[in-house]
Amino acid sequence: MDALQAGLALASGSLVGFTLGLVGGGGSVLAVPLLVYLVGITNPHVAIGTSAVAVAANAFLNLLNHGRKGNVKWRCAAVFTLAGVLGAVVGAWFGRQVDGDKLLAMFAVLMMVVGGLMLRNRNGEGLPHVTLGRDNFPKLVGFGLATGLLSGFFGIGGGFLIVPGLIAATGMPITNAMASSLLAVTGFGLTTSASYASAGLVNWAVAGVFIAGGFAGGLVGTRVAQRVGKRRGALNVLFAGLIFTVAAYVLARTLLSL
């Protein structure tokens, strides 16, 4: 890794950390394309494995920031995460069997679907005092398993899937869902990165620089989230817009390379 690549990895990590701190997801949505198209990791599977390591570490740091601010619904997030980790183990194995370019294209299509769902529910206020109970436990397990499977398959932290999953399962406000999703992003990312690392598909030098940049970006993102979250629907629209933009870019680049 030369100085230019290190600088690009640091800047990319800062952007990913900022996104994780701001919306609790989108880390891998940005990380994989940045590693492939900007940092210059040509093997999509190595980019996916490297992003999983970096996103898991950055998500954990941002989780601590949101936890101190009281935004995390810890019990709901824990059930969702444990169920999701099981799904991620299976999904990661299947993902490694699929051609890298095809995996990126499917990833982009899935992003667009989720972005549409976030816009559809942009005006929902949510239930700020929701807690883990008999009514939402089965939903948390079901959505957790499904999200973990997709997260492992696409090699992503899964925040942009976890946030809508937590909202659908519990009805919590998006601010709490974004903060709580970071626990699951950390768990899913660690599971996926372990699977890819065991196959030698992680660039550890790039991952280290990426994580360093993400720490600084995450601090800024968390502060901005506190302010933006007070505006009804603002985070939903911001989150969806980010997903649509990156999805369109990834899909276009992938189709042009075929």
Residue 236, number of CB atoms within 10 A of its CB: 24
Q: Which residue has the higher pLDDT, 257 or 13?
A: 13
Instruction: Give the pair of three-digit tokens for residue 217.
Output: 């970006």
Please give the pLDDT value at position 139: 95
What is the tally of structural domains in the chain?
A: 1
Range of the domain at 55: 3-257
Distance CA 182, CA 225 (A): 14
Residue 124, number of CB atoms within 10 A of its CB: 14
pLDDT exceeds cutoff 60 at 124: no
pLDDT tens digits along 127-174: 788 999 999 999 999 999 988 887 777 766 566 778 888 988 999 987
**Is the entire prediction scored with pTM above 0.85?**
no
